[in-house]
Amino acid sequence: MVVHKYKKASFAAGCFWGVEAIFRSLKGVISTSVGYMGGIIDDPTYEDVCLGLTGHAETVEIIYDPFKISYKKLLETFWNKHDPTTKNRQGHDIGSQYRSIIFYYDNEQKKLAMESKKKLEESDKYKQSIVTEIIPKTTFYPAEDYHQQYLEKHGKRFCGV
């Protein structure tokens, strides 16, 4: 019997409710959790992060089966989910907590993330520069329970709907 080893990926791309819903829909994604990464304080709350003073970004942590979905596919989904050219903003959501970040867990993820960003930059899909950060993972702090699978719980398909 072959035992599959699941892997982690984490992305920040605006309001974590919508980002989570997109990744949860992918075959090979085992679980998702919304929370906060990239900041300077321990155990931030939603209210702390919303003030924009903690440095955290609303992030989705993904557990996935690399035999069923590749990290490249997760990256493709990330790039297609949001506008990577807007600094500290996605749609109506404004603030550093909504910035675009790929948190990598190992050198392979870093390499693939950098390659995918370069490919997107060279594609001329966007007239503006891509501002997405590609940084090492930091401590992931899960958001409060009421944020987890928020859109599913409330019968919504998109943030703000």
Catalytic residue ranges? 15
Q: How far apart are CA 54 and CA 43, in angstroms?
A: 10
Place of tokens 């703000």: 160
Contacts of 46 (CB under 8 A, 6+ apart): 143, 144, 147
> Can you tell me the distance from the alpha carbon of 115 to that of 111, in angstroms, rounded to the nearest whole number?
6
Distance of CA 112 to CAs 57, 81, 146, 150, Å?
A: 21, 18, 33, 30
C-alpha dihedral, 134 to 116 to 111 to 96, nearest 10°: 10
